[in-house]
Structure 1
């Protein structure tokens, strides 16, 4: 289960980074902001999983 959540967080980060870059290239501020939000969501999920791992071991 934890591996699945970690991969989800990484995919959100990558997807967000790509969306942010695409928005910047096109000049679409909304897309750029959505990309940053997805990255933040992925970062939060990753931090949660790292916290779980800390208490698990």
Structure 2
């Protein structure tokens, strides 16, 4: 596995944080409330989403 550049790590972190907030806000809107479980689900959801985007970069329409 090659070393990731600082720029790639920063981009990955920003993507992860954006995904986390999207999952967290959608759970808050659905009425789950602020609980540890909500944060945990949001973290797992964001991690899975970031992995999917890294494995399948064609999921987003960036051109």
Alignment partners' CA distance in 2, 1:8 and 1:27: 29
Alignment partners' CA distance in 1, 2:20 and 2:31: 16
Q: 1:10-31, CA deviations, whole angstroms, 9 ceiling, x for partnerless residues?
A: 011110011100000012354x
Alignment partners' CA distance in 2, 1:2 and 1:33: 27
Alignment partners' CA distance in 2, 1:27 and 1:7: 31
List, as ranges, runs of 4+ consecutive aligned residues in structure 1 with deviation greater than 3 Å.
Answer: none
Alignment partners' CA distance in 1, 2:6 and 2:21: 23
Number of matched pairs:
37
Unmatched tracts of structure 1, length 5 or more: 42-57
Unmatched tracts of structure 2, length 5 or more: 48-63
| 1:25 is aligned to 2:37 | no
User: Aligned Cα RMSD in Å?
Assistant: 2.4
The normalised TM-score by structure 1 is 0.51
